[in-house]
């Protein structure tokens, strides 16, 4: 189990920094609030992120099974304007969600590499729900049970959770 080691800050200061880290208080603001050196706060925040990354990496090895939803989202970009697929400067984030459970996301270079991620994260014979994006066509002839969801069908959208991955992407765009 990974934990923060070799930290010269007192336990009380560490706890205060952790309380500031959780609501996403910037390191510069935490420095002003606690009256400690900026480099100490930045180092402690980095160590917190390393511990989080370590524990998330342990969960990445988990393979999804049964019913899952998959979707891609486009995050970032140089300027506002064009939206959706094909917009220049955006990063493709692919997500898998086990129904009513965990979400796994990964940045992919392009939508052509989606099948590699799908094969690594989802067990064969799983039910895979996707939108009608053409990159998911290969699922029709693979070992998965593929169901397409037309997002324009409002009644179906209420029953299927695949829009939660879109919400995740939207939240990332705001930050």
Boundaries of every domain in the chain: 11-60, 67-174
Place of tokens 């799908």: 118
What would the two tokens of residue 156 be?
Answer: 């179906």
Do 69 and 96 form a contact (C-beta atoms < 8 A)? yes
What residues of the chain score a pLDDT lower than 70?
1, 60, 76-89, 111, 151-175
- Residue 154's pLDDT is 47
Do 41 and 66 form a contact (C-beta atoms < 8 A)? no
In b/e form, how buried is each residue of 87-110, taking b as 16+ CB within 10 angstroms?
A: eeebebbbbbbbeeeeebbeebee
Just give the CATH number of 67-174. Answer: 3.30.420
| pTM (2 d.p.) | 0.54
- Residue 116's pLDDT is 81
Q: What are phi and psi for residue 146, nearest 5 degrees?
A: -95, 130
Do 88 and 77 form a contact (C-beta atoms < 8 A)? yes
160: left (phi over 0), alpha (psi -120 to 50) or beta: beta
- Residue 141's pLDDT is 78
């Amino acid at each position: 189990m990974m934990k923060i080691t070799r930290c010269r800050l007192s336990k009380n200061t560490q706890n205060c920094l952790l309380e500031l880290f959780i609501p996403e208080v910037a390191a510069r603001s935490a420095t002003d609030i606690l009256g400690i050196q900026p480099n100490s706060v930045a180092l402690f925040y980095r160590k917190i992120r390393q511990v989080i990354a370590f524990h998330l990496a342990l969960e990445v090895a988990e393979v999804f099974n049964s019913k899952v939803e998959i979707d891609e989202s486009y995050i970032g970009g140089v300027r506002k304007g064009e939206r959706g697929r094909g917009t220049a400067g955006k990063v493709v984030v692919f997500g898998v969600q086990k129904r009513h459970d965990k979400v796994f996301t990964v940045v992919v270079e392009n939508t052509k590499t989606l099948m590699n991620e799908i094969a690594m994260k989802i067990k064969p014979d799983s039910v895979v729900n996707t939108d009608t994006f053409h990159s998911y066509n290969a699922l029709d002839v693979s070992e998965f049970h593929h169901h397409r969801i037309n997002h324009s069908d409002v009644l179906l959208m209420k029953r299927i959770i695949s829009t939660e991955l879109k919400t995740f992407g939207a939240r990332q765009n705001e930050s």
